[in-house]
Structure 1
Amino acid sequence: MAQLAETYACVPSTERGRGILISGHPKSNSILYCNGRSVIIRHLDRPLEVQVYGEHAYPATVARYSPNGEWIASADVSGVVRIWGSRNEFVLKNEFRVLSGRIDDLQWSPDCQRIVASGDGKGKSFVRAFMWDSGTNVGEFDGHSRRVLSCTFKPTRPFRIVTCGEDFLVNFYEGPPFKFKLSHREHSNFVNSVRFSPDGTKFISVSSDKKGLLYDAKTGEIIGELSSENGHKGSIYAVSWSLDSKNVLTVSADKSAKVWEISEDNNGKVTKTLVCPGSGGVDDMLVGCLWQNDFIVTVSLGGSIFLYSANDLDKAPLALSGHMKNVNSLAVLKNEPKCILSCSYDGLIIKWVQGIGYYGKLERKVISQIKCFAVVEEEIASSGFDNKVWRVPLHGDQCGDAECIDIGNQPKDLSVSLLSPDLALVSIDTGVIILRGAKVVSTVVLGFTVAACTIAPDGNEAIVGGEDGKLHVYSVTGDTLKEEAVLEKHRGAITAIRYSPDVSMFASVDANREAVVWDCASREVKLKNMLYHTARINCLAWSPDSSMVATGSLDTCVIIYEVDKPASSRITIKGAHLGGVYGLVFADDHHVVSSGEDACIRVWKVTTQ
């Protein structure tokens, strides 16, 4: 059997020029955010405890706990809101199509009976409030002419709703049933966020015009503003109140977060400016924030989450980061036990440590998209969509000066010889390229369309898989290949081939969902009938002791086979990654690590009978 041991969560999806919404549980230190179709539940004091809700059919945009913490309402780009239990296996309570376009914000009423959602829609329907159990409308929301970026529910009676958006307006509604009361146009740019204070006495709006305005919660009239002294120098994307309603937190495109004290005359002055660690690039713009009990949380455009202690703002923040896009490759550092490297196709390489989680990003001088990725000893070899192969030396947590070679073709697969890492094999459509260091020593046209390749640890043998499902075994002599055998068993394009660590076997997988284990000496099938996936197999990995082989598929499952047992006694991990499994590696003989389209990485403890 296989048990989930750890999850290294993805980071929130972000978009340049827009704020994002992260929200918290009213009585605990868990937060919610969205990435792709997933809603992520994370515990700030237990970062390795992560839960993922993946039932949306379209990318999710916002999620919020109900005030009693029992339910979560989440919305997506198609205008659908799903209401589901925060515990008990996320049981679905209701699903409503609320708007005709993307939902950008939603909030519960304090009695948990109503929900207001805002975003993009047809005509003038940019806001809707409805009963949580029936979906019945509870008001009319006139007054906006463009996308409504934020909405908020007054947390005390009498209930009020405030909305703001791309038409520079802040609108105030009384109810229920809610009716338009008044509108403010004091902002001169997009109004990105509006929030009531927890005590229900006032609310605040922040805008891309770098200003923040304070209003009376009962009347909707402006009563103060955030001081321009030490204020933000860029668009303010998000705002969050402290629990006692005496302070607010704002984040901005100027790459800083600011804590403001709200005085009795309802004006705000900066008491602390928080500059998040980073290189100062575009990715360090801050686009989301949350004041959650004793934590101050900020989120950068690059997705990094920074946790500050609200009681000690001088203390350096804890950084929680991860991938935002599909994680397509994994590797284990042999010289550093429990260290895992992961790579997403956008070129980000992250180091993780089992038991700790996020350890840091590997800073590369040249950031390029990565398609294939291999780690041997103290070096990373990678190839991307730019037709180049990179060799990057690893110095601890830093990358040295990279060597690169343009091979003139799109690489399909990359394999490095473990015992002589200078030697690498790259497959392209028409054949393979042999590299020594950063030099092309041979380009071999093979006469069939190539799909995958691997080279033996000693560099003396190579196996090339074709789109036609055939495996061609070659002996490698110097810089030439000599065909020794053609193996026919697969009925689909080969997607991956890997030698076992003891080099007595190799495994191959295909797009027609079959895996095969072969004996290296006899070139006969050693383990057959491995046909338990329901879709294309993307990746495979061997355990260090060569006793197990794991496969990962587009069907979201990981299947682990013991080589000495029939395929029917397999271990299946269902739903390992929403959208499909794209990366697999064994950390040791008892732990397999998987990654996928959901941008998460999971460590599974494998127990065999």
Structure 2
Amino acid sequence: MATLSETYACVPSTERGRGILISGDPKSNNILYCTARSVIIRNLDNPLQVSVYGEHAYPVTVARYSPNGEWIASADVSGTVRIWGTHNDFVLKNEFRVLSSRIDDLQWSADGMRIVASGDGKGKSFVRAFMWDSGSTVGDFDGHSRRVLSCAFKPTRPFRIVSCGEDFLVNFYDGPPFKFNMSIRDHTNFVNCVRYSPDGSKFITVSSDRKGIIYDGKTGNKLGELSAEDGHKGSIYAVSWSPDSKQVLTVSADKSAKVWDILEDGSSGTLNKTLAHTESGGVEDMLVGCLWQNDHMLTVSLGGTINLYSAKDLDKSPLTLSGHMKNVTVLNLLNKSEKMLLSSSYDGIIIRWIPGVGYSGKFDSKQFGLIKLLAVGEEEVITSGFDNKVYRVPLQGENFGPAEQVDVGSQPKDVSLALNPPELALIAIESGIVLLTGSKIVSTINLGFTVTACTISPDGSEAIVGGQDGKLHIYSVSGDTFTEQSVLEKHRGAISVIRYSPDFTMFASADLNREAVVWDRVSREVKLNNMLFHTARINCLAWSPDNRLVATGSLDTCVIIYEIGKPAASRRTIKGAHLGGVYGLTFIDQERVVSSGEDGCIRVWTLNSD
């Protein structure tokens, strides 16, 4: 069968002008963050150790471990909180509808009995505290008139709850049962985050007015502020305390993260260090989330990049973890000898990965805009998006060279590169095909049927074009002429993907009607059929380097691996490979296949010999 050996995780979903919540479990050194409908569980000591919880029906906004580390409470944009176990397949303990709209923050009480959640609601219900086992409400939370962005539970008795939000207020509640004590009006803009120190003696609020204010944890009285002269130059989106309650970490829209020393009496916070970061300085480098956990400090940028610092050595360069935030639609082996992977998501992000290492750099791909298609050659990549342009981009070491763009007159449906001559590329458009040599259009041929997929042989002498009608048309290619050799009819749905085997003796095709077929290239006879085990359309397929295996990936979330020469029924199936569907596949070698999908993750599967 196949076992999961590595996951290159997606990055947190972010939103401009908003902080995001990253939380963790100090015992296991796992962290939690949310992307689309998934909660990502990631280990800071081994970032390739990743689990994904995908049971929410709506995009997830926040997730937190219970104090004992046994449970996770996660909340979504519908106002629903799910409480599930961290072991045994994430068994669901409870599900409650807590608010009438989006939940932005939640926190457990120190005894693990209660949860407070805050966010957007109708009327006055912006904050609610409830018993974790029964869902019954414990208190009344008046006092806010707009969305409540953050809430915090005092970790020591007597319990208190603090909330803050878009009405510029910080509200203080005594309890349980909790009741309104007072509103604090020290900020002059959105109050983005409130956090109690681990010892419960103080709490701090940070705001879009660029201030951080420290309060007494028991009474709510103001104690002091973070020093203004070394302060942030933009909105402060998030704050996190050190485990010893003596320092805080803040992150801001000014793209900086700062570590502050907090006096014992809370009367002031002085700057200890502004953390170094190596970014390009664009909008995506605004910092929107942070966490201080054990010896790790981490920050999250608007672009989703996580920088991991050592709290013991603040001068040490951070470890950068990045990935995709959206559907990863294309996956390719970039360098066959060094086993490097290239992936792209439709939002235009192209990332390089090294098996066993993970993230290895992001290509600057802003020049192409949105990416729908990507083909990789020995020395270049060719991409196209949702306009009529194709970009040919030379690979220059760690980055791309300047792209040459070609307007092919219609939106590309598929792209394929010949290996020798490398300048030759085949572009499928709805009415036919376009042949490119370098950035020059050699010919545009109307084929008389609606084209959906194409591939060109490694030597550029043959092309296969698939149509909406399910037929495969095989052409010989000579210069700028296309000569039809034969038409193969077996598929019952529009062709979605065609790929030659590495040795050029076979090719495989798949369709939207969930069937795949392997053909002999010379005799054009079916070599492997009855490959009908998916329950939805096939999006991608890949050959193993030794021409022995064919893998298919489908909207049904599964990857199926077939062996040439064996009946299709002896297949291997990876169920639930990607929440929302599998969109990219490639083999690293005979034993490892890599998949990508709607969930923004990339997974490496080791194929065990049966």
Matched-pair contact (CA < 8 Å) for 1:335–1:377: no
1:216-265 CA distance string (max 9 Å, x none): 11111111111101100000000000011000110000000000101134
1:44-74 CA distance string (max 9 Å, x none): 1101111111111111110000000000000
Matching residue of 1:30: 30
Where does structure 2 lack aligned partners over 5 or more consecutive residues?
none
Matching residue of 2:243: 243
Matching residue of 1:351: 352
Q: Distance in 1 between matches of 2:589 and 2:398?
A: 22
Q: Give the drift of 1:78.
A: 0.9
Matched-pair contact (CA < 8 Å) for 1:193–1:238: yes
State yes or no: 1:115 paired with 2:115: yes
SS of the equivalent of 2:335 reads coil
Amino acid in the other structure paired with 1:403: E
Q: Distance in 2 between matches of 1:542 and 1:27?
A: 43
Matching residue of 2:81: 81
State yes or no: 1:58 paired with 2:58: yes
Amino acid in the other structure paired with 1:567: A
Q: Give the drift of 1:519.
A: 1.0
Identity %: 74
Matching residue of 1:255: 255
Matching residue of 1:487: 488
Matched-pair contact (CA < 8 Å) for 1:500–1:507: yes
State yes or no: 1:443 paired with 2:451: no
SS of the equivalent of 2:42 reads strand
Question: Are residues 274 and 336 of structure 1, via their aligned partners in 2, closer, same or farther at CA, if it must alter by over 3 Å?
Answer: farther
Q: Distance in 2 between matches of 1:62 and 1:562?
A: 43
Q: Give the drift of 1:586.
A: 0.5
Matched-pair contact (CA < 8 Å) for 1:419–1:457: yes
SS of the equivalent of 1:370 reads coil
Matching residue of 1:521: 522
SS of the equivalent of 2:48 reads strand
Question: Are residues 367 and 430 of structure 1, via their aligned partners in 2, closer, same or farther at CA, if it must alter by over 3 Å?
Answer: closer
Matching residue of 1:320: 321
Q: Give the drift of 1:161.
A: 0.5
Q: Out of 243-252 and 357-366, give the one that drifted further.
A: 357-366
State yes or no: 1:455 paired with 2:468: no
Matching residue of 1:510: 511
Matched-pair contact (CA < 8 Å) for 2:335–2:341: no
Amino acid in the other structure paired with 2:577: A
Amino acid in the other structure paired with 2:229: E
Amino acid in the other structure paired with 1:137: T
Q: Distance in 1 between matches of 2:220 and 2:403?
A: 59
State yes or no: 1:212 paired with 2:181: no
Amino acid in the other structure paired with 1:59: P
Matching residue of 1:282: 283
Q: Distance in 2 between matches of 1:14 and 1:367?
A: 22
State yes or no: 1:380 paired with 2:359: no
Q: Distance in 2 between matches of 1:495 and 1:608?
A: 30
1:380-415 CA distance string (max 9 Å, x none): 111111321111111221111211111121111000
Matching residue of 1:395: 396
Matched-pair contact (CA < 8 Å) for 1:168–1:188: yes
Q: Give the drift of 1:36.
A: 0.8
Matching residue of 1:165: 165
Matched-pair contact (CA < 8 Å) for 2:348–2:366: no
Q: Give the drift of 1:336.
A: 4.2
Q: Out of 76-85 and 399-408, give the one that drifted further.
A: 399-408
Amino acid in the other structure paired with 2:55: E
- Aligned-residue RMSD, C-alpha: 1.0
Question: Are residues 367 and 237 of structure 1, via their aligned partners in 2, closer, same or farther at CA, if it must alter by over 3 Å?
Answer: farther
Matching residue of 2:201: 201
Matched-pair contact (CA < 8 Å) for 2:80–2:98: yes
Matching residue of 1:47: 47
Q: Distance in 1 between matches of 2:299 and 2:539?
A: 35
Q: Distance in 2 between matches of 1:387 and 1:346?
A: 17
Matched-pair contact (CA < 8 Å) for 2:5–2:604: yes
State yes or no: 1:602 paired with 2:591: no
Q: Give the drift of 1:587.
A: 0.6
Matched-pair contact (CA < 8 Å) for 2:348–2:365: no
Amino acid in the other structure paired with 1:563: I
SS of the equivalent of 1:89 reads helix
Q: Distance in 2 between matches of 1:367 and 1:295?
A: 36
Matching residue of 1:360: 361
Q: Distance in 1 between matches of 2:372 and 2:108?
A: 43
Matched-pair contact (CA < 8 Å) for 1:26–1:67: no
Q: Distance in 1 between matches of 2:504 and 2:578?
A: 30
Matching residue of 1:271: 272
1:511-560 CA distance string (max 9 Å, x none): 11111111111111111110100111100000011111000000100000
Amino acid in the other structure paired with 1:162: V
SS of the equivalent of 1:48 reads coil
State yes or no: 1:13 paired with 2:3: no
Amino acid in the other structure paired with 1:216: D
1:457-493 CA distance string (max 9 Å, x none): 1111111111111111111121111111111111111
Q: Distance in 2 between matches of 1:347 and 1:515?
A: 29
Amino acid in the other structure paired with 2:254: D
Amino acid in the other structure paired with 2:282: G
Where does structure 1 lack aligned partners over 5 or more consecutive residues?
none
Q: Distance in 2 between matches of 1:153 and 1:174?
A: 11
Amino acid in the other structure paired with 1:291: W
Q: TM-score, normalised by structure 1?
A: 0.99
Q: Distance in 1 between matches of 2:270 and 2:119?
A: 31
Amino acid in the other structure paired with 2:135: G
Matching residue of 1:556: 557
SS of the equivalent of 1:46 reads coil
Q: Distance in 2 between matches of 1:139 and 1:159?
A: 12
Q: Give the drift of 1:28.
A: 2.5
Amino acid in the other structure paired with 1:499: Y
Aligned residues: 609
Q: Distance in 2 between matches of 1:307 and 1:365?
A: 25
Matched-pair contact (CA < 8 Å) for 2:102–2:121: yes
Matched-pair contact (CA < 8 Å) for 2:498–2:508: yes
1:64-113 CA distance string (max 9 Å, x none): 00000000000111111110001111111011111111110000000001
1:261-313 CA distance string (max 9 Å, x none): 01134110111001321011111110000000001110011101001110110
Q: Distance in 2 between matches of 1:590 and 1:574?
A: 18
SS of the equivalent of 1:568 reads helix
Q: Give the drift of 1:333.
A: 2.3
Q: Give the drift of 1:42.
A: 0.6
Amino acid in the other structure paired with 1:557: C
Matched-pair contact (CA < 8 Å) for 1:276–1:284: no
Q: Distance in 2 between matches of 1:385 and 1:285?
A: 28
1:119-164 CA distance string (max 9 Å, x none): 1111111111111111101111111111100011000011110000
Amino acid in the other structure paired with 1:407: V
Q: Give the drift of 1:363.
A: 2.4
Amino acid in the other structure paired with 2:421: S
Ranges of 4+ aligned residues in structure 1 off by more than 6 Å = none
Q: Give the drift of 1:603.
A: 0.6
Amino acid in the other structure paired with 2:518: V
Q: Distance in 2 between matches of 1:246 and 1:181?
A: 27
Q: Distance in 2 between matches of 1:450 and 1:92?
A: 46
Q: TM-score, normalised by structure 2?
A: 0.99
SS of the equivalent of 1:507 reads strand
Q: Distance in 2 between matches of 1:338 and 1:482?
A: 37
SS of the equivalent of 2:49 reads strand
Q: Out of 484-493 and 65-74, give the one that drifted further.
A: 484-493
Q: Distance in 2 between matches of 1:559 and 1:158?
A: 56
SS of the equivalent of 2:245 reads coil
Q: Distance in 1 between matches of 2:338 and 2:260?
A: 45
Amino acid in the other structure paired with 1:572: T
Q: Distance in 1 between matches of 2:365 and 2:395?
A: 10
